A and B are shown apart, each in its own frame.
Chain A
Amino acid sequence: MKATTNCQTIEILSLSDKQLRELSTKNVLSLSLAEMKAVQDYFRKLKRNPTDVEIETIAQTWSEHCKHKTLTGIIDYTEEKGTKKTKRTYNNLLKETIFKATMELNKKWCLSVFKDNAGIIEFDAKNGVAFKVETHNHPSALEPYGGSATGIGGVIRDILGVGLGAKPLANTDVFCFGNPHTKDSQVPEGMRHPKTILKGVVSGVRDYGNKMGIPTVNGAVYFDEGYMANPLVYCGTMGIIPKSKINKKVNSGDLILVVGGRTGRDGIHGATFSSIQLDQECDVNAVQIGNPIVEKKVLDTMLKARDLNLYRAVTDCGAGGLSSAIGELGEKTGALVYLDRVPLKYDGLVPWEIWISEAQERMVFAVHPKNKKRIVALFNKENVEAVFVGKFTKDKKLTLKYDSDVVASIDMFFLHYGIPKPIRPAVYKIKEENVQKPIKMNSASLLKVLKDVLADLNVCSKEWIIRQYDHEVQGQTIVKPLQCNSIEGSGPGDAAVIFPYTVAKGTKKGIVLSNGLNPQYGKINTYKMAANAVEESLRNAVAVGANIEKMSVLDNFCWGNPNNPKILGSLVRAANACYDMSKAFNIPFISGKDSLHNEYCIGTKKYSIPPVLLISAMGVIENVVHTVTMPLKNGGNKIFVLGITRNELGGSVLAKIKNVKGGVVPEVYPKESKEIMERIYKAINSGLVQSCHDCSDGGLVVAISEMAFAGDKGVKIDIDVIKTKGELSVAEILFSESNGRFVVEVNPENEFKFKGIFKDCIFAEVGCVTEDKNVVFESVKNKIKVKEKSKNLLNAWRNTITW
């Protein structure tokens, strides 16, 4: 080991605990004291101090971003309910909840779960489909455009780096922002206005996704004050991969090939940075800039190389850069890397910077020496830079050289398994939820509230955002995000369906993508928030024709500071809900990601974001002909509400608008819901359903109104026949957000068969479609009649975000 001008030895052997802590902070290592001590012990055994390259490599590999140390660490959990306390210790929360459910369900059609860059399920006899959703919150807070662009760029590379590479078919995006209507003067000093952040983030995803030629087909936007300084940016990509290309294998002697973008100082400390809360002053280098043109060339060429069998393994350079990518690929073998061979954007980078830089658009391949010339020739032909930087060894060590000096030599085992497990306390107090005082409203105020709910930021049309994305490119989007019957209409689709006929020639099958999230519920009860998110994502997919038996889900946790036991406790609850729902719905989780430490300072006060669990669902549809959309189709058709309406207004849109105190957050009843979901699939496949819409934010009245104005039709609904649990007021029936409900349009001639399918389920025929374009909700019993032209409701829904 030699310290060169470019590489320094870091004194660590003699440091006290206090000095170790200081070193971690000063060098942005984000390592805890216990971790620093483990590093110290390791080098004491070696009887030498580490180099800066070594210590940076360890910090990257052990970062929250790469190792998920909170979710895989030890958690001492205490749950309080009234005066009763229960305790449980988790040795690895992820393995004991989400992952455990997947193992127990043991689906044969799950081809690769929780081990690669994305989860893969079976599509047909020859192909699998891969799905991954990532977060890019911190970079997007600093530089909304660059942060979100590299977010989508990164998740696309996850799909390229799964197995031997999948071909991306569609992107998804979900954002949480502060209120865009906040007055400029109310934005805290040093923070960007939520609207500026929103516009930057949307343009970043737009520019990167559109330029890559991948349609952005599904998403959601959620607004809440809590995300003002810490926006959440989730980006997802789904791709298709031949089953024969799912496994990668690195052999000793394989060469290490770096392909794509050059390495610069971009995004240094991105991985360790994501473990730190946001301050007003941040490291400039943490910002990454995306270049979709380079990535598009990499994509096209590498799929050619894949089909020619020119490499044995591939992974993307994400957080931690080459350090993580090569470290992962060489975990079982060992690796020798010549850092001076890595192509650079400009001179002046020192070895550790080259090693951990998060410069974008780079992929790392393991290539058998016999293919050395062919693979480089192929990439060069397409103007893609491809350079060999070293080889995989058999000494199980990571060795880095720079100008023939060894600048790092660490055991792979220590690097990957030497991290001490943190022990964190967690507590959760289950609060009792009570039904609110009865909500009584007359016809006029019901109509006003309906319009307010439709115009609410979290219900209103996101057309301004959706239309900036290309959701049609590749020509395979069968069910699209905005749906309508006429040129003037518009309505929110429940899920997207992709028909990958250009890749899977002759197929009839499709892939459905949907999502579910509701942070409002999480403010009251994170268990229910998680359960709701799972059910909502499934309901959305089922509404377009998905088969609940062939669905899989992804989890993405965005939480506050896990060092706070209460916050960690709420995370444990949510993870438990995931396990319970996965088992109850018989739906496996196939991949996931977490972003913790979403905390920010205003002045000296620290705030954690309202926690969010995003559930993204992917499923395979047998025949894309059997899919439906949500706009009402024909006058005279009957409208059915499937499922039961309970008095569940806790965290609802109505509660927010009318400032309702108390209320019960919607509960999930998997047995009931699953039964209905299975039968909807049957009904849709028998051609008995004209349109179908899931009932979520804003309740029944919103779902039915959306179907009407999307279809440019009217409806006549009898509120009195809607099936309820107990006695509910009209407002409660209309705005309650109970789970498990769908609104379905059925042609009268199919009524008999349709009712036959739903025999023994709770459902009711509640009215009919009319051609007079009036939306009417009537309760004779309560002397209520809400009547409005569907066009006026459309305008209420459409005019909130029109920039």
Chain B
Amino acid sequence: MFEIEIFTKEGFKDSRGEHVLSKISEVEIKGITKVDYASVYIIDGDINKTEAKTIASELLSDKITEKFEISSNSDSKKSKSSVIEVLYKKGVTDTVSESVIKAIKDLGITKEVRVKTGHKYYLHGNISKTVLDKIAVKLLANTLVQEYKIK
């Protein structure tokens, strides 16, 4: 299983991140200085790292404005910032994943894959778990259809 994250490259505007930061300030939460946004694609199936790389570079990211990171489930990543990850709950229609599965086939990778899509928000600053929960529930995830994890 590979987790592919797509970030905005340095020097380009991370509008999703900025948007979340402005939403956070609107609900009167202080202490957060910056938010980085990454879209997340979890790809499950019998593919290898090279194929995952092809998918990330050719399909999921824009080479000019975006960069990607691939981690497999064995990697454990350390991050200096707090991370809120939002994914659809099981059984909720994930239309983006349907398109990704189709596009992976179009890339010539014929192996069966399952895809989950989601969002990661890297929050910089001094933030307590309670505040992170509040941000996740109020602004980032609709817990009716999505679940979130704080890392």
Within 8 Å of chain A (Cβ to Cβ): is B79? no
Count chain B CB atoms within 10 A of each CB in A287, A290, A345 and give the residue with the most: A287
B144 touches A284 (CB 8 A): yes
A674 located at the interface, meaning its Cβ lies under 8 Å from any Cβ of chain B in the complex: no
Judge if B28 is at the interface, Cβ distance under 8 Å: yes
Minimum C-beta distance from B136 to chain A (A): 13
Whether the Cβ atoms of B138 and A284 lie closer than 8 Å is no
A275-308: which have CB < 8 Å to B? 282, 284, 287, 289-291, 293-294
Q: Which residue of B lies closest to A261 (CB)?
A: B93
A196 proximal to B (CB < 8 A): yes
Residues of B within 8 A of A145 (CB): 142
Q: Which of B27, B94, B139, B145 contacts A284 (CB 8 A)?
A: B145
Query: Given A265-B91, A287-B144: A196 and B138 within 8 A (CB)?
Result: yes
The answer for the CA separation of A282 and B91 in the assembled complex, in Å, is 16
CA distance A264 to B97 in the complex (A): 15
Which listed residue, B26, B27, B28, B145, touches A289 by the CB 8 Å rule? B145
Q: How far is the CB of A608 from chain B (nearest CB, A)?
A: 23
Q: Which residues of A contact B142 (CB under 8 A)?
A: 143, 145
Q: Are A293 and B145 touching (Cβ within 8 A)?
A: no
Check B27 against A193 for contact (C-beta < 8 Å). Answer: yes
In the complex, chain A residues whose CB is within 8 Å of the CB of B94: 289
Does the CB pair A264–B93 fall under 8 Å?
yes
Q: Does A498 contact B (CB under 8 A)?
A: no
Contacts of A345 in B (CB 8 A): 93
> Does A174 reach chain B (CB closer than 8 Å)?
no
Give the residues in chain A near B145, CB-CB below 8 Å: 143, 146, 284, 287, 289
A184 at the binding interface (Cβ < 8 Å) = yes
Question: What does the 1/0 interface line of B15-28 toward A look like (CB < 8 Å)?
Answer: 00000000000111
Task: Kindly state whether residue A628 has any CB partner on chain B within 8 Å.
Answer: no
Question: Is the CB–CB distance between B138 and A143 below 8 Å?
Answer: no
Which A residues are CB-close (under 8 A) to B95? 289-291, 293-294
| Bound-state Cα–Cα, A143 to B98, Å | 20
Interface of chain B residues 98 through 138 with chain A (CB within 8 A): 98-99, 138
The 8 A CB mask of B27-39 against A (1 = contact, 0 = none) is 1100000000000
Q: Is B64 an interface residue (CB 8 A)?
A: no
Closest to A195 in B: B26
A290 to B145, CA, bound (A): 13
Which secondary structure characterizes the binding site on chain A? Answer: loop
Let me know if A359 and B93 touch, CB within 8 A.
yes
User: In the bound complex, do residue B99 and residue A287 qualify as a contact, i.e. CB atoms below 8 Å apart?
Assistant: no
Q: Do B27 and A293 touch (CB < 8 A)?
A: no
> Contact: B139 with A196, CB < 8 Å?
yes
Does A751 lie at the interface of the complex (its beta carbon under 8 Å from any beta carbon of B)? no
Separation in Å of the A788 CB from the closest CB of chain B?
31
Q: Categorize the interface residue count of chain B.
A: 10 to 19
Q: Does A121 contact B (CB under 8 A)?
A: no
| CB atoms of A289 and B92 under 8 A apart | yes
A266: chain B residues at CB < 8 Å are: 92-93
- A264 and B144 within 8 A (CB): no
**A231 CB → nearest B CB, Å:** 14
Q: Are B91 and A193 in contact (CB under 8 A)?
A: no
Q: Tell me if A184 and B144 are in contact (CB < 8 A).
A: no
Interchain CB contact under 8 A, B93 and A293: no
Chain B, residues 84-95, CB within 8 Å of chain A (1/0): the string is 000001011111
Residue A142, interface by CB 8 Å: yes
- Residue in contact with B91 in the complex, picked from A143, A146, A264, CB distance below 8 Å: A264
Chain A residues lying within 8 Å of B26, measured Cβ to Cβ, are 184, 195
A291–B144 alpha-carbon span in the complex (Å): 19
B69 to chain A, nearest CB (A): 27
- Please report the C-alpha to C-alpha distance between residue A246 and residue B145 in the assembled complex, in whole angstroms: 39
Chain B residues within 8 Å of A359, by CB: 93
Chain A residues in 8 Å Cβ range of B139: 196
Task: Please report the C-alpha to C-alpha distance between residue A192 and residue B142 in the assembled complex, in whole angstroms.
Answer: 10
Residues of A within 8 Å of B27, CB to CB, are: 184, 193
Q: Which of A282, A291, A294, A359: most chain B CB closer than 10 A?
A: A291
Q: Is the CB of B138 within 8 A of A291?
A: no
Residues of B within 8 A of A346 (CB): 91
The residue in chain A whose Cβ has the minimal distance to the Cβ of B28 is A184
Given known pairs A193-B138, A282-B144, the reply for A291 and B93 (CB within 8 Å) is: yes
Nearest to A346 among chain B residues (CB) is B91
A184 to B28, CA, bound (A): 8
B144/A143 in contact, CB under 8 A: yes
Q: In the complex, A670 Cα to B46 Cα: how many Å?
A: 72
**B99 in complex: contacting residue of A146, A193, A290, A293, CB < 8 Å:** A293
Q: Which residues from B are CB-within-8-Å of A192?
A: 138
C-alpha spacing A195/B139, complex, angstroms = 11
**A196 to B140 Cα, complex, angstroms:** 10
Output the nearest chain B residue to A282 by Cβ-Cβ distance.
B144
User: Which residues of B sit under 8 angstroms from A293, Cβ to Cβ?
Assistant: 95, 99
| Minimum distance in angstroms from A204 CB to a CB of chain B | 12
CB distance from B58 to the nearest CB of A (A): 20
- The interface bits of chain B over 47-84 (1 if a CB of A lies within 8 angstroms of the residue's CB, else 0) are 00000000000000000000000000000000000000
Interface of A with B (CB < 8 Å)?
A: 142-143, 145-146, 184, 192-193, 195-196, 264-266, 282, 284, 287, 289-291, 293-294, 345-346, 359
* Other A-B pairs, 13, CB within 8 Å; known A143-B142, A284-B145: A184-B26, A192-B138, A195-B26, A265-B91, A266-B92, A282-B144, A284-B144, A289-B92, A289-B94, A291-B93, A291-B98, A293-B99, A346-B91
12 A-B residue pairs with Cβ-Cβ distance under 8 Å, sorted by A, are A184-B28, A184-B138, A192-B138, A196-B138, A196-B139, A264-B93, A282-B144, A287-B144, A291-B98, A294-B95, A345-B93, A359-B93
3 closest A-B pairs by beta carbon, nearest first, are A291-B95, A289-B93, A184-B27
